[in-house]
Structures are given as C-alpha cells and as structure tokens.
Amino acid sequence: MTSLVQTQQRVLGSLPPVGPISFGTWRFTDPDQATGQALLEAALDAGMNLIDTADVYGFDWGGTGFGKVEEIIGALLAASPSLRDRMVLATKGGIIPPRPYDSSPKYLRQACEDSLRRLQTDVIDLYQIHRPDLYAHPADVAITLTALRDEGKIREVGVSNHTPAQVAALQAHLEFTIASNQPEFSALHLDPMRDGTLDQCMEYHIVPMAWSPLAGGALATGNDVSPELLSVIDGIAERESADRSQVALAFVLAHPSAPIAIIGTQNPERVASSTGALAVTLTRDDVYAIIQASEGQPLP
C-alpha cells in the first residue's frame, strides 16, 4: 500500500536540505540553558534541523518580552557553537506590538539586524516576513530584503500568513524565488488547501511551513474536536500502531506540496516521538476521510 506521506527532505532555495518536521520555538521561553539545550538537541537528533523562531516570540506564552526567545537561542548558540552548525536557522520580523505590523524599509532592516544581534549569529538562513504590512508597498519590501541578502545578513527569504495575492505581489519585485510560506494548516484548519495557498506553493516551488499542525494540541488531546474527526483519526492510529499526534502530522505531510510541519512541544520525549508520523501510511481514502470528517460534510 503506497503512502501519500512525504518523508523526503525539503529544500529551501540554496539552503542545506531540512527534515519534513521542524522545531518551532513560540513556547521556548524557559531561560534555563540546560533545558533549552536538551530540547534543541532532541530536535536536531530527530532530524529537525530547521529551527524556526521570530523576534516577537517571548512577548506572550510566559515570555518576559519582545525578542526574548531569540535571546535564549542566541545564548545557547554562544555557549555551544556546534549547535549552530547543525541547524538551518529561521526567524521572522515585521510585527511590532502594539502597532502591529511594519515592513517599512527602515524598520525591516532594523528588525533583521536586531535579530542577528539577539541570535548571536552572523547570518540568518531563512528570514521571513511574519505578517503582511498592508501599508508597505511590496516593491519597497523587496528592495530591503534583496539588500539584506546581498549584504550576506540573510540567505533566503520567506513569508508567513500571506495570501496568494500578497505572495505574488512580493514575488513580482524579487529577482529570486520566495523560499517558504507559513500558513496555519492542520486537519482542523484546511483553508490553505482551499484558498490557493498550497496550489501557489506548488506553482512557484515555495515550501509550505505549516504552523499549528496539531491545532494547538487539540488533535492530540481531542479537546474541541468533533467525534467524527476523532473517530477517523483514532481508527487510522489503531491500524498504524500510532497515536493521534502522529496521524495528524502525517496528514499535513501527505499533501503533494510537501509541507514542513512545525511542532512546538517543550517535551524532548514528544519531540522524538513525533517522528513516528513518518512511518504512518495514509492513502487517498484516509486523507479524504479526514477532510470530510473535519468539514462535516461529504465531498461533492
């Protein structure tokens, strides 16, 4: 039985290949270095060499302020430089509470350079516009990103939470391809399959990076998930000797656009166990059963 789950490494432009599951750091707010290093090493050991963060991480989820997660990661990299050599480091900029969005040339450059300082690194492998600034012309954003890339401060450019039209508008002003787009995508949030986001990724050779692939943990706990969807997921999990989380991650990885699933657990054991998603077999019958149960109606 052929599985739809895409287990191969992903390629983001000129960057080294990365695993199909990434470690996201929105909740990486514990300043204890031993705890942080254990988590990063668990992720890297599990093949999650893409480490995704953002300058705004630390502003909430128990953090002590804007930029705090980048500072925590930077301290870990300074203490253990070998960690940096093992990872593709991604961060995001363009949110500045409470404004909230700013991708003007002056601010975007400042945001990138501040991230470099906090992360204690010479270059950001993947720099992403966190959310679109509706009052920034894409030509100006492109000029700034191109300059940062030419100066060697960033290697590749991505976006996050951008509509297909917003991606196309920015791409029109860039001489290189946008490497990634981060949409929310899970068995509970299917919008990217319907609104053209994943179709555009396949058209432009953009790698989707799915945030909240477990719907904030709901697909693991079953909280606020319909009994119909849980029944389908649990049936597949039993058949595959897997758990709900692994089946939910496998669903994200099964799309032909070959998304990267960004996990955010702060438990090293769960980091390691998430790779069990790569051993799950999902057929067309399985993925369409999940879609129908999620949407609560039969497909036409």
CATH number at residue 200: 3.20.20.100
Asked if residue 149 is part of any domain, the answer here is yes
Helix axes 197-204, 164-171, angle to 10 degrees: 30
Average pLDDT, the chain: 97
Give the chain's domain count.
1
Show which residues are catalytic: 57
Is 165 contained in some domain?
yes
Report whether pLDDT(60) > 90.
no
Domain assignment of residue 98, given as a range: 21-221+257-265
Give the count of beta carbons closer than 10 Å to the beta carbon of residue 70: 26
Name the strand (E) or helix (H) holding 236: helix 227-240
257: exposed, middle or buried (Cβ count in 10 Å: 0-12, 13-18, 19+): buried
In the chain, the largest separation of any two C-alpha atoms, in whole Å, equals 56
Residue 198 belongs to a domain = yes
pTM more than 0.75:
yes
Would you state the pLDDT for residue 262?
Answer: 98
Q: Strand ranges (DSSP E) for 124-230?
A: 124-129, 154-160, 180-182, 207-210
Give pLDDT tens digits for 156-213. Answer: 999 999 999 999 999 999 999 999 999 999 999 999 999 999 999 999 999 999 999 9
